[in-house]
Amino acid sequence: MVDLHLIVFGLAVGLAYLYAFVGGFTDAANAIATSVGTRVLSPRAAVVMAGVFNLLGGLTGTAVALTIGAGLVDPDVLSLATVVAALAGAMGWSLFTYFFGIPVSETHGLIGAMVGAAVATASLDVVQWRGLTKVLAAIIISPSVGFVGGSASLLLIYWTLRRSRPGRVKPWFKHLQRPSAGQSSRTFSRLGC
């Protein structure tokens, strides 16, 4: 007779891999699309580069995983069934938004699904409000910081190169797209975007 816990464990592991796959096909192209669109990289080279750098990002950072696993809800209430429900909910949301072309963060979906599944399993008492508040603040603040930083960088580049001829600087930007796409892939993977 097969143990029910073993079945739920297998389902949790299978859903985790499926969730990672869904996150990859709905989000991984964001880091390399510009390099392919401008023909700096061939589609094959871009996919290989994204795969390598996504792997490196996943292997070098665990902060997001630790926060989701232990910083949002009381880990003692997280059963395998709760994890399965959270993964299924987050994956369903990712596929729904992908189907309708709505941009979404898989990590944000997983955070919401994990908190929702834990609350449904126990109650609001299991939420670690300090950790959840930090995560929600980062979700709100980070796009603003990125916008200001990106705008400042663009203005600095325009000002620095204002007297340059486009033909002279274009090759530099073409070559700089490669490390930029690699770093974006690595960062997306580390942050779980």
Give the mean pLDDT per block of 10 residues along the chain (193 residues).
81 86 74 81 84 76 73 85 90 89 84 91 88 88 91 92 85 78 60 49
Tell me the three state secondary structure of residue 127: strand
Q: What is the pLDDT at residue 187?
A: 57
* Per-residue pLDDT tens digits for 108-151: 888 999 999 999 988 888 888 988 898 889 888 988 998 999 99
Strand partners, 127: 73
Strand partners, 73: 127
Q: Count of residues for the chain? A: 193
> pTM above 0.75?
no
Q: State the Cα–Cα distance between residues 135 and 151, nearest whole angstrom.
A: 24
CB 85 within 8 A of CB 43: no
Query: Residue 27: how many CA atoms within 13 Å on its side-chain side?
Result: 27
Tell me the three state secondary structure of residue 73: strand
In this structure, what DSSP letter does residue 76 have? G
